[in-house]
Amino acid sequence: MAKKYFGTDGIRGKVGEHPITADFLLKLGWAVGKVFANENHDIVLVGKDTRISGYMFESALEAGLTAAGVDTHLLGPMPTPGIAYLTRTLRAHAGIVISASHNPYYDNGVKFFSVHGTKLPDEIEEEIERYIDSPMTTVESSGLGKAKRVGDAAGRYIEFCKASVPTRLDFDGLRIVVDCANGATYHIAPHVFSEIGAEVVSIGVEPDGVNINDECGATKPQKLAETVLAYRADLGVALDGDGDRLIMVDHKGEIVDGDELIYIIAKSKLKANELAGPVVGTLMTNLGMEHALKQLGIDLLRAKVGDRYVMELLVENKGILGGENSGHIICLDKTTTGDGIIAALQVMAEMQNSGKNLHELKSGMTKYPQVLINIKTKTKLDLDGNEAIQNAVKEVEKKLGNTGRVLLRASGTEPLIRVMVEGQSEDKVTAYANQLADQVIKAQTIKSMDA
């Protein structure tokens, strides 16, 4: 059954445009409350990142949940994985995250976690949608929900993160730069890394409601690289606005992406005899990672792009490690969802265990040149059904042979078509990507004219 409101990662869009409006979020809160409510005043947690619209949507969701007879516990600014953890440990019936992750401040969204700290199953999302399209009612006044703030939410999550690495490891003398993207980890990540003994230089920790992800964080790690070099740090950690993505920087200022980090963690777990099942990547995972894992005797499975699809393959194949090159990294032996802080701690633990720096650890994997072009779209374009585009793809694939890949896909969270070409020659890969991008733009123009 096709869902009307839910995408691959909750509901997301531009603030003020349907469905990211105060009235819709009120109705959404009520719908969630109706799905989870019973006579025991079930609890739903609500947390948010630092974008200014979070205040408005937090109030709207609270009102809707209250009208449905559900008690709301407000967490304030909290990373997405922190909300997943607290939903599980506080035994709430659901957790709601108000965030648009890596998107700009003028976007926002809502995503959900079950009592187990995992994404909601499709049938629950479909039931919520049925209520959204039903008339809203309010329970009797005696049955209205109540709301309260959870004062120790950040402290609980900080302790959980610290516990993901052995206490025997000594991080004293390790200098790291942490970029919190002016997002939900601004008051958490610096404490985690300093409390395990590292010397921490913090940037991106002054959120003002509109500077989240603005030229900083996991999507823009250049500032982090410059700061690592300026402070002669051992490494840098870049998180995104809601804390579920991680990109790192080594002591030379070189960016270490999600594929390289997954490779480092996989090799570490294999060495410690702690790796179960295959590693799961996505259609975007670099061929270099696949080849490097194969040399270690580790299988790689590819899921559709999106952390929920990575999770599905992990669970189906009893794996514990997977993620995306964008920095979503899932360590199921430590937590239930993608977590940037947890993943960074696993890499830092391997540095201490092996005595190697981050630059040395990533050297076991050689990335193929990969060019990604994002094309903004105004109307939906059927990539699979467009003969000109498909012929262009086949032509490039024929030229690449077994030494490269082509991927065209529509983004699940933004109005974009992504064109990716990967191969051994950077010049050829760039040329092929531009050819395909031109073909997509041409097809889009023709469709607009026909409309």
Distance between CA 317 and CA 311 in Å, rounded? 10
Please say whether the beta carbons of 240 and 101 come within 8 A.
yes
The residue from 53, 59, 99, 101 that is catalytic is 101
Bridge-based pairing state of the strands 71-77 and 94-98: unpaired
* Rounded alpha-carbon distances, angstroms, from residue 44 to 33, 76, 84, 117: 8, 13, 12, 12
Q: Is the dihedral of CA 341, 347, 352, 356 positive or negative?
A: negative
Q: Which amino acid is at 318?
A: K
Please say whether the beta carbons of 307 and 9 come within 8 A.
yes
Instruction: Tell me whether residue 101 is one of the annotated catalytic residues.
Output: yes
Q: Residue 166: phi, psi to the nearest 5? A: -60, 140
Distance between CA 421 and CA 361 in Å, rounded? 26
Tokens of residue 130, six digits: 């049925």
Neighbours of 420 (CB within 10 A): 20
Distance between CA 149 and CA 157 in Å, rounded? 16
DSSP string, 249-278: EETTS-EE-HHHHHHHHHHHHHHTT---S-
Of 389, 417, 403, 421, which is closest to residue 284 (Cα–Cα)?
A: 421
Distance between CA 178 and CA 248 in Å, rounded? 9
Bridge-based pairing state of the strands 175-179 and 235-239: parallel
Q: Residue 17: phi, psi to the nearest 5? A: -110, 135
* Rounded alpha-carbon distances, angstroms, from residue 148 to 135, 145, 179, 188, 365: 27, 10, 31, 21, 49
Catalytic residues, which ones?
101
